[in-house]
Structure 1
């Protein structure tokens, strides 16, 4: 099968590596010629170009651009692709993308692989990145079943764990476990840098170890991605931030009141339910 990828970064490059390992022909498009050359050299694609017309004969196209470029990219692809081409995206927000593209392209299936690393760019592409990782598909009632089935077959080759939900359900879910953590992690880093005593701040920086590294990782990621999460999933993220602030205020109150019994009960509860999210 001929697979097209627009956006040759971590996700696009990793998809290309795995698709080629399963004997698919992969063609890629990037805004920079240097990225195209790197993608070919690294084995992420068979051929690459800055011209979208390279995708004219692709049977399936993955849009792997930043969130804000997904809809404009689809608007350009309309002039290039035959109507039977299946198009999907990898954006971490689904509702605005699906609502905008579905009327434009009959064979569109919203998608979101829950996989990645702290690195970016095609140089960060990894084989087997999607193995046993959640890969969400958000077809609508008008999405052709044949498009969903074919896309599922490709994702099964990657050994991804496939989930189906509505775009709205997806956005509410990821606001809790993906977008909220970015904002919380960012605020943690910002709060630490507000330490007024330089000597204490330097000591904290020297002592920071695995606990701080784990809780601050996503807050130290790509700022553009964080802004796009907030911009395109604003309503759901605001709701999750409000609930988080309520829980934080509750902890603050318990500590101020020296209510160690209720604090222990709350920490025991979070200890008990964490495995439901992290296996």
Structure 2
């Protein structure tokens, strides 16, 4: 099977490495000729070009561009596609993407492999990034079952764990466990930088260790990704931020009132339920 990848950054690069390892022939497209040459040199793609026409012979195409570029990319792709070509994306927001693309291309399957790294770019690509990680598919009523089966088969070859849900359900769920943490983490960094005593600020920076590293990681990541999450999942992110604000205010009140018993009970409850989200 010939598979196309548009967007040869971290996710596109990792997909290319894994798909070629599974025996698929991979055709890559990037905006930069230098990235295309790099993709071939790194083994990410068999062939790569800045011209979308290279994808005319592919049967499945993964759209690994930023969220804002998915729709214009599909519009530019359509003249080169056969009616049976399956399109899928890897965006972290699904409802607006599916709403925009499904009317243009019936064989479109919304997708979101939930894996990543702190590093970005094709240079950070590695094998098996998606192994044992969630891979969400968001077909709608008009999505052909055959198209879903094709994408699911490929995702399973990556050893990913497949989940199906509606696009709206996906966006609400990821607002809690992905998009909200980015904003909370970003606010933590900004709050720490608001320390007005320069000596204390320097000391805090010198003392920062694993706790700060873990809680600040996503907030200090790719700014464009964070902005796109907020822009395209705005309503769900606002909803989760407002709930978070409420719970933060509850904690502030408990500390102000010196209600240590209630605070301990809340922290004990958090300790117990964290395992529902993270299995360590």
Identify the residue that residue 263 of structure 1 maps to in structure 2.
263
Identify the residue that residue 25 of structure 1 maps to in structure 2.
25
Deviation (angstroms), 1:193: 0.2
Deviation (angstroms), 1:82: 0.9
* Aligned counterparts of 1:153 and 1:185: Cα–Cα separation in 2: 35
Partner SS for 2:189: helix
Identify the residue that residue 223 of structure 1 maps to in structure 2.
223
Residues 117-136 of structure 1 correspond to what in structure 2 (within 5 A)? 117-136=117-136
Deviation (angstroms), 1:112: 0.2
Partner SS for 1:17: helix
* Aligned counterparts of 1:83 and 1:64: Cα–Cα separation in 2: 21
* Aligned counterparts of 2:47 and 2:150: Cα–Cα separation in 1: 23
Identify the residue that residue 210 of structure 1 maps to in structure 2.
210
TM-score (norm 1): 0.99
* Aligned counterparts of 1:32 and 1:153: Cα–Cα separation in 2: 30
Identify the residue that residue 244 of structure 1 maps to in structure 2.
244
Partner SS for 2:37: helix
Residues 2-21 of structure 1 correspond to what in structure 2 (within 5 A)? 2-21=2-21
Deviates further, 208-217 or 73-82 = 73-82
* Aligned counterparts of 2:125 and 2:88: Cα–Cα separation in 1: 19
Deviation (angstroms), 1:125: 0.6
Identify the residue that residue 39 of structure 2 maps to in structure 1.
39
Deviation (angstroms), 1:150: 1.2
Residues 1-279 of structure 1 correspond to what in structure 2 (within 5 A)? 1-279=1-279
Partner SS for 2:57: coil
* Aligned counterparts of 2:166 and 2:85: Cα–Cα separation in 1: 22
Deviates further, 147-156 or 238-247 = 147-156
Deviation (angstroms), 1:80: 1.2
Deviation (angstroms), 1:238: 0.2
Deviation (angstroms), 1:151: 1.0
* Aligned counterparts of 2:239 and 2:173: Cα–Cα separation in 1: 12
* Aligned counterparts of 1:275 and 1:31: Cα–Cα separation in 2: 42
Partner SS for 2:128: coil
* Aligned counterparts of 2:80 and 2:120: Cα–Cα separation in 1: 28
TM-score (norm 2): 0.99
Deviates further, 76-85 or 232-241 = 76-85
User: What is the Cα-based RMSD across aligned positions, in Å?
Assistant: 0.4
Partner SS for 1:56: helix
* Aligned counterparts of 2:262 and 2:110: Cα–Cα separation in 1: 43
Moved over 3 A (4+): none
* Aligned counterparts of 1:186 and 1:227: Cα–Cα separation in 2: 11
Q: Name the count of aligned residue pairs.
A: 279
* Aligned counterparts of 2:79 and 2:272: Cα–Cα separation in 1: 53
